[in-house]
Structure 1
């Protein structure tokens, strides 16, 4: 016998490609997405809207702060460490995830201590500006990729 009521099925897939799901082991419990609704929530990517890089002082301010922090590895590793996160409509950040690659862009653990330092550095950045699209403040995903040469950050991308 078939029921006339359709069951609401939970999908194992995110609402949109690239969404970061909340993980209580990694994420701060108090971080909230803005305008989150039970049925769906959409977060934009960093390149949506009028300004691609929404940090007070632009990327140069991040580079200057990084230089003052003097983050490096004793090991002469080379590659990339990318930290991706969400900036909510209040300019607060959360849902940080990191990925590491060697110089050939293949998954590789470069140096766990260096990765943790860069993750914590990224979490400490508090100049992210809310993004507005069509008059509404929205959440958006942002990322920073740190190019590592001889154990030191040689460049911050994008």
Structure 2
């Protein structure tokens, strides 16, 4: 009798828990995932995992720091050889986030611009274009392995701009 009574209470509960399997989520599979966009991204860039599964970050897998041949110091050296600056007196930050695939190639670049108070803004477009071009042409990214398997991962570089010049590259 007790089991039958319990069953009577559970049936309405389970009948209201139906999931609409035809609904497509507007949210990515993982927080922060960036979807490939045919208007922005190189069609020749291929990820090594299943489509859109960029869930690893640069710090996953026990590695610390930037996974680049020569580390961050090499990126700074390369940047200093370039003549990247603005004729305008702009201050702020340019963050470029991208994916490094299992072959060490980079793609799917996204850029955010902020003023010195971290509010989203548009800095000098000539300067930001040069910074994006520089970042896209860095070719020393080290493929990442997690549990013996090569994976794709997100990486980012933030350029601190003071008076129209890059004063620091982060992280």
Partner SS state of residue 132, structure 2: helix
TM-score under structure 1 normalisation?
Answer: 0.91
The answer on 1:17 being equivalent to 2:36 is: no
Alignment of 1:7-156 (within 5 A): 7-36=21-50, 41-52=53-64, 53-156=66-169
Partner SS state of residue 81, structure 1: strand
Aligned partners of 1:156, 1:42: CA distance in 2, in Å? 24
Deviations 1:80-132 (A, max 9, x none): 00000000111111100000000000011111111111011000000000001
Look at both structures and tell me which one has the larger radius of gyration over its CA atoms.
Answer: 2
Cα distance change of structure 1 residues 76 and 34 upon mapping to structure 2, 3 Å threshold = same
Structure 1 segments of 4+ aligned residues over 6 angstroms from their partners = none
RMSD (Å), alpha carbons: 1.3
Give 1:25 deviation, angstroms: 0.7
Q: How many residues align?
A: 151
1:3 aligned residue: none
Partner SS state of residue 116, structure 1: helix
Give 1:42 deviation, angstroms: 4.3
Deviations 1:20-53 (A, max 9, x none): 101111000111111215xx72430111112231
Aligned partners of 2:37, 2:53: CA distance in 1, in Å? 17
Worse overlay, 12-21 or 44-53: 44-53
Partner SS state of residue 62, structure 2: coil
More helix by share: 2
Question: Tell me, which stretches of 5 or more residues in structure 1 are unaligned?
Answer: 1-5
